[in-house]
Amino acid sequence: GQQVMQIPQYQHVQEGEDFTTYCNSSTTLSNIQWYKQRPGGHPVFLIQLVKSGEVKKQKRLTFQFGEAKKNSSLHITATQTTDVGTYFCAGPPGRKLIWGLGTSLAVNP
């Protein structure tokens, strides 16, 4: 069936280091969305990418959508303790959002 894989599952970094999570889909996606869930919280929308090869930035966060629209990445430059949480990608092969398992980020101050 349709799957969205995310790697790594966990990442532990020192504050100030960079962080990247990757998302790969078994099928072409019409768009991909990224969400962040803080510990004890609920997923919060970060961004949506629609176009092939699209790159979007939000301050220290850079999001990319692959040329084939099957993969995506989220890169955080110079992590801060406020970046702690689980980052999910979600793709809609159809109308139903398929979610990756998420990458849990821990940041040592």
Partner 1 sequence: KAGVTQTPRYLIKTRGQQVTLSCSPISGHRSVSWYQQTPGQGLQFLFEYFSETQRNKGNFPGRFSGRQFSNSRSEMNVSTLELGDSALYLCASSLVDPGTNTEAFFGQGTRLTVV
Q: Which residues bind partner 1 (CB under 8 A)?
A: 30-31, 33, 35, 41-45, 48, 50, 88, 90, 92, 94-102
Please give the single-letter amino acid code of residue 22.
Y
Q: How far is the CB of 101 from partner 1 (least distance, A)?
A: 4
Provide the token pair at 60.
Answer: 């220290």
Nearer to partner 1, 22 or 88 (CB): 88
Q: Which is nearer to partner 1, 50 or 78 (CB)?
A: 50
29 three-class SS: coil
User: Between residues 10 and 16, which has the closer beta carbon with respect to partner 1?
Assistant: 10
Contact, 25 vs 70, CB < 8 A? Answer: yes
In angstroms, what is the minimal distance from the CB of 109 to partner 1?
A: 25
Nearer to partner 1, 85 or 100 (CB): 100
Q: In the complex, what is the shortest distance from the CB of residue 62 to partner 1, in angstroms, rounded to a whole number?
A: 19
List the one residue out of 76, 65, 96 whose CA is nearest residue 36: 76
For tokens 């176009």, the residue is 51
User: Nearest distance from residue 16's CB to partner 1, in Å?
Assistant: 29
For 14, left (φ over 0), alpha (ψ -120 to 50), or beta?
beta
DSSP letter for 3, please: -
